[in-house]
Amino acid sequence: MRPDTHDKGRLAVTVLVSVGRHPLTGRGRRADQDARGVELARALADAEVELLHAGRLDAGSEAALRGYLGMGFEALSLLEQPAGADVLPALAEALEAAGPQLVIAGEQAEQGEGSGLLPYLLAERLGWPLVSGLAAVEGVSQGVATLLQALPRGQRRRLKVRLPAIVTVDVAAPAPRQSAYGPARRGRLDVQAAPVVPDDDLARWQAQPARKRPKRLKIVKAASARDRFKAAAAKAEGGGGQVLTDITPEQGAEAIFKLLKEEGVLR
């Protein structure tokens, strides 16, 4: 990361990329959401895009990381981190040093902890705003980005966010371009020194394979074709729920806490 090399007027974008895992075979690959993040960055006019990965470099992860290089990059910065390290400090320091205007990340990793919390922790630590579920970056002018956020059922919300900011993408973002073998093979993996902080919490946790969670059944009692269509198009959801608006963060947290208690998640 060379902060002084940023061109004036060009938008400095860093995409956080991780090593994905194919759901059927478990083989390493470009993580789908991260690749969509890269695609989003590629589509930005006049942007200087950097790829950043924090993790181990071995045969398996190298092939996956080169998948991102195959989308048309000469280099990828790699902060080497051993297994069981907390990558947050390393990423935060690298981002602070490089000073990008926009950081793009996938919503959730395909392997490892996969909690989806990293972008939030990063935003908290850097003190930057975070926008999730991005569908498009519509434009950037004078330090303010116009973003299009994807909401359920195809709805979109336009947001203006002061940069620097972190945005995360999920499947609503454009599909990634094909990764080409030649550029992937020729691209460089720039290994950079980074602080290694062991993840003490993780070390204390006990991991076990996840069980499939039961799905709420959708009961269709349709009398007409129109009803059947509506039922088919609707998402399964609980009948309850409420929308809270204009409340303080404390009240919001209280409401979430109460719900988690009710659902038996917290005891």
Which residues of this chain interact with another protein, rule CB under 8 A?
22, 24-25, 27, 29, 70-72, 177-183, 185-186
Residue closer to another protein, measured from CB, 71 or 91? 71
Count of CB atoms situated within 10 Å of the CB of 65: 23
CB of 186 to another protein, least distance (A): 6
Burial 143-167 (b: 16+ CB within 10 A, else e): eebebbbbeeeeeeeeeebebbbbb
CB of 28 to another protein, least distance (A): 9
Cα angle for residues 78, 82, 88 (degrees, 5° grid): 65
Cα angle for residues 217, 218, 223 (degrees, 5° grid): 145
CB of 24 to another protein, least distance (A): 5
Backbone φ and ψ for 108, nearest 5 degrees, come out as -150, 140
Omega cis (within 30) before 209: no
CB of 70 to another protein, least distance (A): 6
Reported residue count of the chain is 267
Residue closer to another protein, measured from CB, 182 or 264? 182
Residue closer to another protein, measured from CB, 29 or 36? 29
Residue with tokens 């989308």: 71
Residue closer to another protein, measured from CB, 6 or 177? 177
Residue closer to another protein, measured from CB, 68 or 128? 68
Residue closer to another protein, measured from CB, 27 or 228? 27
Backbone φ and ψ for 24, nearest 5 degrees, come out as -90, -45
CB of 14 to another protein, least distance (A): 22
CB of 11 to another protein, least distance (A): 22
- Rounded CA separation 133/124 (Å): 18
Residue 85: Cβ-neighbour burial (10 angstroms; 0-12, 13-18, 19+)? buried
